Structure 1
Amino acid sequence: MTRKYIDCREFPSDMNCSVAIAADSEDELMKVAVQHAVAVHQHADTPELRQQIRQLFKDGTPPVEYR
């Protein structure tokens, strides 16, 4: 199984979020990424949000430093 991640640093925002999340399964990553999007970025947990998040998953682990 390939580790997956999503990295908020790739998406400019007013809050300059520096969170990167990695997990061994897409289901686990989705759960935590949605929790973060709702709690921190004030998004609503909708099927559309989950679809958008899933499209942003990448294989591997996030870099320690981002550009």
Structure 2
Amino acid sequence: MSRKYIDCREFPSETQCSVALSADSEKELLDAAAQHAVSVHKHTDSPELRAQLKTMFHDGTPPLEARRV
């Protein structure tokens, strides 16, 4: 299984969040990303949020500079 990541720098926000999370399993990354979305970005943890987060996952590790989507 390849490493996966999600990177807040790809999505402009008022907080200009620069956090990137990576993990060896999709479940571990999803749990961490949901926790981050709730605690930092004030989202509500829900199946819809988790489904949306999964669409933002990439294979590999976060780049040093932000990718623009």
Shorter chain as normaliser: what TM range? over 0.9
Percent identical: 66
Give the unaligned 5+ runs of structure 2.
none
Distance 2:47 2:66 in 1: 29
- Find runs of 4+ consecutive structure 1 residues off by over 2 angstroms: none
1:55 positional shift? 0.7
Aligned pair count reads 67
Matched residue type, 2:7? D
Q: TM-score, normalised by structure 1?
A: 0.96
Give the unaligned 5+ runs of structure 1.
none
1:1-67 to structure 2, matched below 5 A, reads 1-66=1-66
Matched residue type, 2:60? G
Aligned-residue Cα RMSD (Å) equals 0.8
1:64 positional shift? 1.3
1:66 positional shift? 2.1
Matched residue type, 2:27? D
Matched residue type, 1:8? C
